[in-house]
A and B are shown apart, each in its own frame.
Chain A
Amino acid sequence: MGKEELREELLKKLHEGVVEFEEDQVREAAQKVLDEGLNAYDAVMNGLAAGMQEVGDLYDQHEYFVPELLMAADALYVGLDILRPHITLEDLGNKPKGQVVIGTVQGDVHDIGKNIIKMMFEVAGFTVHDLGRDVPLEKFVEEQLNTDSEIVALSAMMTTTMMGMEKVIKMIKEKNPNVAIMLGGAPVTSDTAELFGADGYAESAGNAVQEAIKMIGRLREMQEK
């Protein structure tokens, strides 16, 4: 078997392993990538992450649901744990995509949704600063300033706590108008996001990352001008 064929086969195994939540298959394939001296970064991006992208797609169509998403995530992390230490700086020549501060706002203790979004960001190559749940509003502002993250992602699962988002947005934009803020969570709609002055709105895990990438693109354009 030629090297390219082998690469194709392993990428397929990683991809499938994530979609079908076969942790063993992912573990074996990831190990083989290293044993055969193939590129770990390539395996992560074109194997694991591609698989996760398909999972996100299935989720958007309601074909997959939270349990499947989380099981796929487990399979993904099995592969990531093996491959990540072997990713070289050279691989990251095209730099990480960006940094995100993420958390569930004060008064809210629901964080499953937030955790899913966080994972999608990690898969897509973002550096994620997770503040957890029931996060005081000022903490988002501090963390953004400390890390100089391009994106702040706020989650709320209750309409009552959703109201706090508006304040955070104001506070952050006052300090740093260039930060892109995205909102998500059950009660949030694109209308609310617009009303509160957010830059983006994620209806689901799948489009959160795409939305984030778009937002960073817009930010960079603005900065280059």
Chain B
Amino acid sequence: MSRNGTAKVIFQPSGRRGEVEKGINIIEASRRIGVDIETLCGEKKVCGKCKVRIEEGSFEKFGIVSSRDHVGPWQEEEGNFITPDQKEAGYRLACAAEIMDDLLVFVPEESRAGKQVVSKAARDIEINRNPAVKIYTVTIIPPSFKDPLGDFERMMQALEKEYGLKGLNIDLFTLRDFPNIVRKGEWTVTAAVWMDKEIIKVWPGEVEDYYGIAIDVGTTTVAAYFCNMRTMEVIDTVSMMNPQCKYGEDVMARITYHMQNPGGLERMSNDLIEGLNELIKQACDGTHPAKKKKKDETGKVVKGEDGQPVMVEAPEEGKVYPRLEPSDIVDLTLGGNTAMHHILLKLDPRYVGLAPFPPVIHRSLDIRARDLGININKSSNVFVMPNEAGFVGADNVCVLVTERPHTSDELQLIIDIGTNGELVLGNRDKLISSSCATGPALEGAQLAFGMRAAPGAIERIKIDPKTHDVDYKVIGREAWLKYSKPEDMKTKGICGSGILDVLAELYRSGVVTKSGRFSKTQKSNRFRNNPDNPRQKEFVIAWANETSIGKDVVITQKDVRQIQLAKGALYTGCKLMMRRMGIDKVDTIKIAGAFGTHVAKDKALIMGLFPDCDLENVMSVGNAAGDGARIVLLDRNMRDEANWIARNVEYIELTVEKDFEQQFMESMQIPHMKDEFPHLKGYVPEEILHQK
């Protein structure tokens, strides 16, 4: 409950929160709390850009009850932009809605001023083409009085004769459309066959290109790879925030939400399915030409009968538009961590959250898309990747399907960094996996000025060892601070990749010692006690005049501790696994995860994210989880391999390993309390590297 006069406001999906006085509007609150909502008209209720949704219900995680009654009354102007359906769903204009009490406000992607930079782009990977869904074009002899055989049997005869396909089933929904399709195609049809077993779609005439979609359901971000199944090319990559973020930022919080709220599992699953359907729609829309407002000869916007501008297609010259609809998607593969997997399928995730963390099921599943409520071709199946363990899920199997350490002689250490860190170590002889609770600190959450990767986020930092002065670069601006006017930086906070840089640079320049404590010998006025909390030490990264939030962006002693905990957990995991395997060094380190793409590997080694290794052999493999989902979409043999991997990688629970506590403690120091880092020679001054 809030004190009189103030209300707690939490913005989703950023998770930013704060307390503001009652009576101000949501836009004003968003500014104070540091959330960017688009306002083109300057809060005059005429642009309609600032649509937000007021969430309804009790959110224990935040300790608030949010309700549509907690904002001021509906204003007439809002009706110009918000449809009755949206109004029903709780949408308001942020500039019109006054805050009366505690609120959980969802800011939809289109209303966010700084669009998130999601780096889940598809990589070039070698895939052997052998999809689960294949298409066959046949010409069928039309029935006659002499030969009145049924349509289906007629097609089967042709399929057997031309392709040797026998004994196929057909899904009822496809069969219902079939008699009209075959005639529309004038007895030439193309049939999509799933796993050489079942006909799941029939097109009239000859079809060459057909489409599938591979989806990686992350705890925070969901990414979909829209593929042409004939050419294997990725025609589009689309992503969104996981709509479940409002129920909790991490896996445990989601599981807890289910445990505490009747119907919670249903709700989270439905939200995700709805999100997936939107994402699929979005991917399909991208295959149509963009639309623009129709204008008459004088350049005036033409309005229709409803008073809204008439929209017309504006195709780019020379570009081919496949014009696809969700029903054109014939195959879909899904990967995600075990909790996301369970919640999506409405399998009780509670036991995944309790030691010894068993999943409900390991092996992969083929589920009719319609049973899950996923809007693609009605008869199609969704392939759900298998799980390795409670905390090493289908997403990790995806990574392994891509990197295939089980076929290599080299000893590989694969680190997948997300909200939860997953580690795999080994080669063709043996593979072990484990998970470590890195927490969201490495992604920027929980830090005083942490933020997602969006314009204004600091992503690279340098600290001068002589003066302790700071130079940095923000997302959305090429020039570093040194080459910019302060007011042009428009800095807002620090994102994941900036966070590794911060710790590495603070250490390398001697601002913090090996223990992570701010050094007593500071060379600039950036080090200070927090003005509001004198017991808290902090270091100023960006002065207020360089920011768009009017406050100094700092890294506090507590922030440093959070990062140390996260990196310590990861390092301990690597080390204990190496000990299990009886080795003291690995041949190759691969960093996966969207995060991996942005990691400067020298900085990662300096801060001690993993044990010493020649930087030449440290590589980023990008979003291998998404690549894996794409591989199984295009190569059905890899589905069997995925199942083999899921059962043949030995899972190790790290926290019960002997002397975990001691190892964890040593790993929290930078780069490590005791381990040597010969490969840091030249990267870190001797006197820093060998400090006591």
The chain A residues found within 8 Å of chain B, CB to CB, are: 60-68, 70, 106-112, 115, 134, 158-163, 187, 191
**A161 CA to B252 CA in the complex, in Å?**
10
Nearest CB in chain A: distance from B59 CB, A: 13
Q: B664 at the A/B interface (Cβ < 8 Å)?
A: yes
**New A-B contacts (7) at CB < 8 Å, excluding given A60-B535, A63-B537, A66-B664:** A61-B536, A62-B558, A62-B561, A64-B517, A65-B515, A109-B355, A159-B252
- B469 CB within 8 Å of chain A: no
Q: Tell whether, in the assembled complex, residue B564 and residue A163 are in contact, meaning their CB atoms are under 8 Å apart.
A: no
- Contacting residues, chain A, for B564 (C-beta < 8 A): 65
List the 4 shortest-distance A-B pairs measured between CB atoms, nearest first: A160-B353, A107-B354, A159-B256, A62-B557
By size class, the interface of chain B is 20 to 34
Contact of B664 among A109, A112, A187 (CB under 8 A): A112
Chain A residues lying within 8 Å of B260, measured Cβ to Cβ, are 163
Closest to A191 in B: B63
Taking a contact as CB atoms closer than 8 A, the residue among B353, B517, B536, B661 that contacts A65 in the complex is: B517
Q: Give which listed residue, B354, B536, B653, B656, contacts A161 with CB less than 8 A.
A: B354
A160, B252: Cβ atoms under 8 Å? yes
User: Contact at A160–B256, with CB atoms within 8 Å?
Assistant: yes
Q: Which of B355, B517, B536, B561 contacts A107 (CB 8 A)?
A: B355
Q: Select one of A61, A111, A187 contacting B557, CB under 8 A.
A: A61
Q: Which of B253, B256, B515 contacts A67 (CB 8 A)?
A: B515
Residue of B nearest to A186 (CB): B439
Instruction: Please tell me which one of the listed residues A62, A115, A160, A161 contacts residue B661 in the complex, with CB atoms under 8 A apart.
Output: A115
User: Is B656 in contact with A109, judged by CB distance below 8 angstroms?
Assistant: yes
Q: Are A160 and B517 in contact (CB under 8 A)?
A: no
B252 A158 Cβ-Cβ under 8 A: yes
Q: Could you say which residues of chain A place their CB within 8 Å of the CB of B655?
A: 109-110
Cα-based distance from A41 to B602 in the complex (angstroms): 51
- In the complex, which residues 639-685 of chain B have their Cβ closer than 8 Å to any Cβ of chain A? 653, 655-656, 661, 664-666, 668-669, 673
Q: What are 16 A-B residue pairs whose CB atoms fall within 8 Å in the complex?
A: A63-B517, A63-B557, A65-B564, A66-B565, A67-B515, A67-B665, A67-B666, A68-B517, A107-B355, A109-B656, A110-B655, A112-B665, A160-B255, A160-B256, A162-B256, A191-B63
Task: Give the residue among A67, A68, A158 with the most B Cβ atoms within 10 A.
Answer: A67
Tell which of B259, B355, B558, B653 has the most Cβ of chain A within 10 Å. B355
Residues of A within 8 A of B255 (CB): 159-160
Interfacial chain A residues near B596, Cβ < 8 Å: none
C-alpha spacing A161/B259, complex, angstroms: 11
CB neighbours (8 Å) of A65 from chain B are: 515-517, 561, 564, 668
B68 contacts across to A, CB distance below 8 A? none
Alpha-carbon distance between A109 and B665 when the two chains are bound, in angstroms: 16
Most chain B beta carbons < 10 A, residue from A60, A109, A187: A109
Closest chain-A Cβ to B290's Cβ sits at a distance in Å of 44
Contact with A along B239-260 (1 / 0, CB 8 A): 0000000000000110110011
Contact with A along B550-564 (1 / 0, CB 8 A): 000000111011001
A158 to B254, CA, bound (A): 12
